[in-house]
C-alpha cells in the first residue's frame, strides 16, 4: 500500500474514529487492562495538577478522561479531530449538565494556534492519539503560547519498542514486529486504513525543545499485556498478577521506561 498524504490521513482518521465512537465507551469499560492503564496514567498526572485547574485535552476521544478530571473539580476543554468523538462529548455535556465545566471543540492538535488568547494550566493527551502525526513539533510549536509559565504537559504515546509484542513473537504473533523496520505503519480500524508513527522518548524530548524540561517519564504496560490482549488475565490470572507486579518495579527504569506499549511523559514549561 502506498503511503497516504497527511491531509488524506486526517480524513481517514476521522472516518475510522467516528465509526468507533459509537461503541468506544462500552469497549473501554469492558476491558480491565485499559482500566488499569488509565489508573496508572491518573496516578502519574496527579503529581502535576494539585489544585482545581484549567485543562486542555488533545485527542480526547469520547471524553472518558475529561469526565474524570471534571469530577475531580477541574475544568476541561476537550478537543479531537473526529466528528463522532466530539458528538459523543457534546451528548455527555448535555446529559450530565456539565456546561462550563466541560467544553469541547473539533480541532486537530496541529492547529492549536486557533486557541491563542486562551491559557491552560495543564495540557493532556492520552492513549496514542499523538501517534497519528509524523512530527510532534507540529503540535509542540504552539504549546508555549497557550500554557501558563511553569505549567505541565502529560502525553501518553506509543514508542517504537514494546517488550510484550517482541516476546509474543515466540507465540507466532504476526504483528509482533509491527513497530519495526519502517518509519511509519498502517493501522486498520473499522474498515479504514491510516498511517501511524511511533515516537521514542528521545524524539518527544527533541520536539519539546529547550523551553520545556522533562519532568518524568515511565513505561505503561512494559511487561504486562497491552489492551488488545484482554483475554490474557482471564486465561493466566497468576502470571498476569506477577507481570503487573514486575511492571510496577521496573517501569521507571531503563529500558522499561521507554520499551513498553505506551510511555507516559511529562514536561514543564520553564521559559
In the complex, the residues that contact ligand SAM under the rule CB under 6 A are 10, 13, 17, 59-61, 64-65, 80-82, 85, 108-109, 126-129, 132-133
Q: How far is the CB of 57 from ligand SAM (least distance, A)?
A: 7
Closest CB to ligand SAM among residues 126, 154: 126
Q: How far is the CB of 172 from ligand SAM (least distance, A)?
A: 26
Q: How far is the CB of 146 from ligand SAM (least distance, A)?
A: 15
CB 249 within 8 A of CB 53: no
Q: How far is the CB of 264 from ligand SAM (least distance, A)?
A: 12
Distances (CA, A) of 179 to 115, 187, 199, 259: 33, 11, 10, 11
Closest CB to ligand SAM among residues 85, 220: 85
Three cell numbers written together for 116:
491563542
Closest CB to ligand SAM among residues 118, 249: 118
Closest CB to ligand SAM among residues 129, 219: 129
CA–CA gap between residue 174 and residue 259 (Å, rounded): 19
Residue nearest to ligand SAM (CB): 61
Torsion angle of alpha carbons 104, 263, 14, 136, nearest 10°? Answer: 90
CB 38 within 8 A of CB 105: no
Q: How far is the CB of 170 from ligand SAM (least distance, A)?
A: 27
Three cell numbers written together for 235:
486465561
Closest CB to ligand SAM among residues 133, 146: 133
Closest CB to ligand SAM among residues 102, 133: 133
Greatest CA separation for the chain: 53
Closest CB to ligand SAM among residues 69, 127: 127
Q: How far is the CB of 105 from ligand SAM (least distance, A)?
A: 10
Q: How far is the CB of 118 from ligand SAM (least distance, A)?
A: 17
Amino acid at each position: 500500500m502506498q503511503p497516504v498524504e497527511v491531509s488524506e490521513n486526517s480524513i481517514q482518521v476521522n472516518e475510522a474514529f467516528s465509526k468507533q465512537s459509537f461503541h468506544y465507551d462500552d469497549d473501554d469499560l469492558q476491558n480491565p487492562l485499559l482500566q488499569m492503564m488509565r489508573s496508572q496514567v491518573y496516578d502519574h498526572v496527579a503529581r502535576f495538577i494539585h489544585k482545581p485547574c484549567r485543562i486542555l485535552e488533545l485527542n480526547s476521544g469520547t471524553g472518558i478522561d475529561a469526565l474524570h478530571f471534571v469530577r475531580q473539580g477541574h475544568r476541561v476543554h476537550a478537543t479531537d479531530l473526529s466528528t463522532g468523538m466530539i458528538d459523543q462529548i457534546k451528548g455527555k455535556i448535555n446529559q450530565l449538565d456539565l456546561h462550563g465545566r466541560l467544553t469541547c471543540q473539533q480541532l486537530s492538535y496541529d492547529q492549536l494556534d486557533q486557541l491563542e488568547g486562551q491559557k491552560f494550566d495543564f495540557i493532556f493527551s492520552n492513549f496514542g492519539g499523538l501517534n497519528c502525526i509524523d512530527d510532534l513539533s507540529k503540535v509542540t510549536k504552539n504549546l508555549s503560547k497557550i500554557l501558563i509559565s511553569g505549567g505541565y504537559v502529560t502525553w501518553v504515546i506509543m514508542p517504537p519498542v514494546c517488550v510484550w509484542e517482541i516476546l509474543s513473537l515466540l507465540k507466532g504473533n504476526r504483528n509482533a514486529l509491527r513497530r519495526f523496520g519502517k518509519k511509519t505503519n498502517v493501522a486498520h480500524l473499522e474498515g479504514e486504513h491510516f498511517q501511524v508513527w511511533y515516537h521514542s522518548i528521545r524524539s518527544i524530548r527533541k520536539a519539546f525543545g529547550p523551553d520545556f524540561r522533562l519532568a518524568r517519564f515511565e513505561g505503561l504496560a512494559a511487561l504486562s499485556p497491552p489492551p488488545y490482549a484482554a483475554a490474557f488475565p482471564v486465561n493466566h490470572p497468576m502470571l498476569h498478577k506477577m507481570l503487573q507486579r514486575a511492571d510496577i518495579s521496573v517501569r521507571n527504569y531503563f529500558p522499561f521506561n521507554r520499551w513498553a506499549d505506551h510511555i507516559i511523559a511529562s514536561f514543564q514549561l520553564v521559559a
